[in-house]
Structures are given as structure tokens and as C-alpha cells.
Structure 1
């Protein structure tokens, strides 16, 4: 018992002696002191960078809601996120949506930036990001499955983003939207009301 106590004491004495020796060698050499200082500085920076709070980018100011209107292909192109206000519009299956709050996806530099200011229907249907056409696309050559995919995307856009109007076919007249209505276009001369048609029948 006494022997084990003595051996543990001698072990701790040896360990203390080694540490003292190392400490004296470091202190006696200015080069060693400088190296220890550099190591401590690097270790401090590593821990500091690991514990640093992730800086959250300040949120961009929210743009006022866009008044409903219909867009030609050329008018839609102006809303690709590169203009001063940074607004991004995307057309899906004839409807135009304000996707500005999803700008990191549809704005400049985003994975779907090719859809910004364009009709994304074909690209979404065919899973081809570069398939956003320059002119009006009637989608008539899409398969039933592809059109179903377009409709699914359309319903997602309706849920997530504000509907701001329709994409006009060449030669089509824009709808007159009133301030009160949500998504339904007002009755125009080209769209006679049901009651007007009934009167004609009577």
C-alpha cells in the first residue's frame, strides 16, 4: 500500500518536473514566447469564429402591393428584378404573380432567375429552367401530364404569391380591374354578363 502511494507521488513529481522544465524553456527563449503567442492568438480566433452569431441579412423593405393589370410579354420583361425597385413577376398558365418575396429564387442570381419577367409555364412543365420563352407561348404542344404539372405549379403560385393580372395573348385587350375585386376581372364590353345574355334570349 505504502509502495503504491510512493510510486504515485513520484509520478506526479516527475510530471510536475517535466511541466516546469517546458515552462522554463519557453520563458527563457524569446522565439518560443512569440510562437506560443501566435498559437494562442490562432486558437482564440478559431473559437471566436465558431461562436460568432450568424449575421442575418437585413430584410429588404416590402414593396407596395402592385395594382392589378394585364401584361403583354414585353411589359412583363421589365419585371425581372434588375430594375430600381427590384420587383419580380412570373407568369404561370396565363396568370401573372408577384414573386418578389421569393426573390432569392426568381431574382438575379437565383436558381430560377431565368423565369423572372417571363412565362415560366413551359420550364416548370418540362423541368427545364432555361425553357422560358421570349414570345407568347400558348403551350398547345404540351402533353396532358405536362399540363397537369403546370396546373399544380399554378395552384402553388396562387397560394404563395399575389396574383397581379393576366398574360395577354397577341392582340388581346387588357381587362379593366376595379380596386375592390380580388382576382376576378370586371365585366367589359368583350365579356357580356350572364344577365345581358339572358335578356337577349327573352
Structure 2
């Protein structure tokens, strides 16, 4: 009997200690709120979004500016291609950035080199852009972006200059062909 009276006295004492201080009441409220959220999140049966089906690998080929425009993410398969410094990359994995409604949607299906060099999302040109008027610093920026695209996305071909003939790619080529013209005007 003495034990139950002692434990009741301790609990009463703890209760009065909590109630007497507004800070303690606030802390207990926060603790109750956090514990409630932990249990609520464990019992929450949110539907899991089905994974986006993987598109088949695109066969390497060269693109004209007009052909590239078709790959802006609005077509049936939703594929998005972006050209950087004359090389075309399949950025479909980054569709939330480069596809319709994304922050860089202006680059989808276009040559993004000038926009990346000048940090201007709306600078995706309509025709072929030879980049010859970019400064050395801007060209360095384009090359840096290009190396990031090489690491993250699949190379699918080159952007053809007007009148240029396409390259025949073998299935074993993984890297863009060397010799793309990226020399700025002032070098």
C-alpha cells in the first residue's frame, strides 16, 4: 500500500511541476504533437506512384534543328532531347526539368548552349547557333555544362550544321565524336 501511495505522490508531483510552468506546458504540447505525427505517418497508406516506364534506348543518329524540335516532351512517348555544344543528349530522365512545365522546358528539343552560357533560360534559339560570338568565359561555361550532360545523360547524336552530312554510328560508340567546333570568337 505504501508503494502505490508513493508512486501516486510522485506522479502528482510531476503533474504539478508541468502545470505550474507555461514553458513545460508548451514542451509537453510539442512532444504530444510530434508523437501524434509519428504514429499518423506510420499508419498513412499513401498510394505509391507507379514507376515511369523506361523508354527504349534511342539509336544514335544526327539531328537537324527541325528534327530535334520534335523531341520536346509533348509527343506520345514524351522523350526529351537537348543539344549542348553540338552534341544531343536524351534528358528524358530529367523530364521534370526539361519537359513541358519544367523550369528549363525552353531547352527541350532545342540547342541549349547559348542559354546555358548566358544563364538565360529563354535563350534557346530557333535555328542553328554556331556560338562564334560567345566570349571565352561563356564558352567555358558551355563546356562545363556539356561535361555535366555527358555524365548524367545518354549521348544520342550530334546537332547538324546546315548542309552538314550525318555521321554513321556503330552500336559500340558511347562517346560523342571529337572535333566539334567549340572555339570562341576571341581565341
TM-score under structure 2 normalisation?
0.70
Match of 1:158 in 2: 150
Deviations 1:22-71 (A, max 9, x none): xxxxxxxxxxxxxxxxxxxxxxxx979x6335544322100011000000
Q: 2:87 & 2:136 partners in 1: Cα distance? A: 19
Shift in CA distance, 47/179, structure 1 to aligned 2, threshold 3 Å = closer
Gaps of 5+ in 1: 1-11, 13-45, 186-202
Gaps of 5+ in 2: 1-11, 13-35, 178-187
Match of 2:53 in 1: 61
Larger Rg computed on CA atoms: 1
2:155 is aligned with 1:167? no
Structure 2 contact 155–176 (Cα < 8 Å) conserved: no
2:125 is aligned with 1:125? no
Deviations 1:138-170 (A, max 9, x none): 011111111000000000000000000000000
Residue among 101, 124, 131 paired with 2:93: 101
Q: 1:82 & 1:126 partners in 2: Cα distance? A: 26
RCO comparison, higher one (Cα < 8 Å, 6+): 2
Q: 2:86 & 2:125 partners in 1: Cα distance? A: 14
